[in-house]
Structure 1
Amino acid sequence: MQIFKEKQALKNQITAFKKEGLSIGFVPTMGALHEGHLSLIEEALSSCDTVVVSIFVNPTQFDNPNDLEKYPRTFEDDVMRISQLENDRDIIIFSPPASEIYGNEVVSEKFSFDGLEYQMEGKFRDGHFNGVGTIVKKLFEMVEPDKAFFGEKDYQQLQIIKKLVEKLDLPIEIVGCPIHRETSGLARSSRNERLSAEDRQTASFIFRVLQKTKEDFGTKSANEIASWVEEEFKNHPAIELEYFEIANADTLESIQQRENGQKYRAFIAAYFGDVRLIDNIALN
């Protein structure tokens, strides 16, 4: 395992790997690694000769300064967890300071993702996907991966990254990986580190609601299900619903009724105290 802080040192190593004909996998993270991240790294190791894992808390994708400040930073623990993987010798960790990525001006580029950016998260997190597009584009230019691996917990982000690659005509395969869950069903997230064990158990209510949504999707309308979900959250004292959507899995547009031949997902964003949690589930 190697650790780089400077982009030029990273690019020099990548160039050397490519001269050897080695394939490059890439797993971008913001650190505070959990089993979900490790599963992405293992998936990358299984199909690529070497894997770059970036650990960088990207300031331009936070619309809430308090969320950025409180985001867990556990670099030493992250390195230790990666070192315990069986093929850790084939891993590069890239953990640059913001100045190495952005220079003297930490600002986002403006992107169009053909409307994907205006759905769900885009309605509640101003500028978020411009920040995501900016950092991912910059990292892709530095790493030049053959494949990049993203978890489906951030499903909207996954779709936007696919659109970014399509629009920029990048020769990168985007691989979506299944959501990794705690034993309670709660989707693994770095933000879970801010919850106690008891809180995590309580927050698994989100997944139970999604499971019931999937169960009812064949017999009830989207509006009926949405009304039920809203009522369930109103009756839950600890968790505040921000949004619930049933959407087309490709366009991310909300639906009123299902159509044959289309795939759908249900999406939830909710607050447990000041900790924002998101989750989703495939409905068919």
Structure 2
Amino acid sequence: MQIFKHLEDLRQWRQQLRMDGKTLAFVPTMGNLHEGHIQLVHQAHQHADVVITSIFVNPMQFGENEDLDAYPRTFDADCEKLAAADNHAVYFPSVSEMYPNGLSAQTFVQVPDNDNTLCAESTQRPGHFRGVSTVVTKLFNMVQPDVACFGEKDYQQLRVIRTMVADLNMPIKIVGVPTVREESGLAKSSRNGYLTPAEKAIAPVLHKSIQQVKTAILAHYQSSTTTDNLSNNRSVIDDNAQIEAAAIAAINEAGLKVDYVIARDAHTLAPITQDTQDFVVLGAAFLGKARLIDNITFSR
């Protein structure tokens, strides 16, 4: 497995792949890899001849109250896992290579509306998605992949990337990969490493609660009628608020601190109405030092 730390070397390698007629799939990560990341690599193999993974802890997407320095750096262990998954190359740039003029002077990419919704509304996440879209744009320009794989666990991030690629006419296929879970239902995440054994035992309540939101929403639609659309829309709003409130209460009671639990249109992230067909329930909660996120999608 090849390791590139400098853009010049990466581009020479990429040019040779192109000359050889080989396609390239890309898996962007911040390292501290777990089974979910490795699943992205396995999926990437299904879409291209060669797979490259990046490891870069992006300072631009950390909030003021998040400890960038404390984020786990496990490069050697990450490379062992990637090599075992037949990953072909790793791009491991420094912060100075990614942002040579510093963050304050960096040109950025911002997808409209996404810095004012859900995760970004949290006091710890302002500018988060701008940081994501900026670094992913830079990485796409550096790696020049044909395909890029992202986990569906971070539903909002995946939506931001897909919107950005479409709006900027990037010739890259974006593949969403289903969330990898532990037997308890807890979504695998690098941040799970912050959890104590006691916290990890109660963390699955987040997934359990958003599943209950799904069940309650489907029950509402099955029991509703469509004779009065305005009235039914009001009923959806009222019922949905009660459903979300019940989930929030259950999660808080278990010992987590809810950031949000909310049901939205799966395509637009707009509030659901009587006409909504495809849904996503998104949840985020704090537990000890970790901020956990999860989601489920479904249709009626």
- TM-score bracket, normalised by the shorter chain, equals over 0.9
Q: Which residue of the partner structure matches residue 92 of structure 2?
A: 95
SS of the equivalent of 2:202 reads helix
Identity of aligned residues (%): 38
Per-residue deviation, 1:196: 2.8
CA contact (8 A) 2:212 2:247 kept: no
CA contact (8 A) 1:117 1:160 kept: no
TM-score scaled by structure 1? Answer: 0.93
Alignment size in residue pairs = 278
Q: Which amino acid aligns with 2:93?
A: P
Per-residue deviation, 1:216: 1.3
Distance 1:195 1:146 in 2: 36
Distance change (3 Å), C-alpha of 1:130 and 1:109: farther
Q: Does residue 273 of the first structure (1) align with residue 291 of the second (2)?
A: no
Counterparts of residues 1-284 of structure 1 (less than 5 Å): 1-64=1-64, 66-85=66-85, 87-88=86-87, 91-107=88-104, 109-124=107-122, 125-220=125-220, 221-236=239-254, 238-255=255-272, 257-260=273-276, 262-284=277-299
Structure 1 unaligned blocks of 5 or more: none
CA contact (8 A) 1:241 1:269 kept: yes
Question: 1:29-52: CA deviations, max 9, x gaps?
Answer: 000100000000010012211111
Distance 1:81 1:111 in 2: 32
| Bigger Rg, which one | 2
CA contact (8 A) 1:119 1:253 kept: no
Per-residue deviation, 1:112: 4.1
Per-residue deviation, 1:199: 2.1
Distance 1:109 1:222 in 2: 40
CA contact (8 A) 2:115 2:127 kept: no
CA contact (8 A) 2:110 2:129 kept: no
Per-residue deviation, 1:270: 0.4
CA RMSD, Structure 1 to Structure 2 (Å): 1.5
Per-residue deviation, 1:240: 0.4
SS of the equivalent of 2:270 reads coil
CA contact (8 A) 2:285 2:291 kept: yes
Structure 2 unaligned blocks of 5 or more: 221-238
TM-score scaled by structure 2? Answer: 0.88
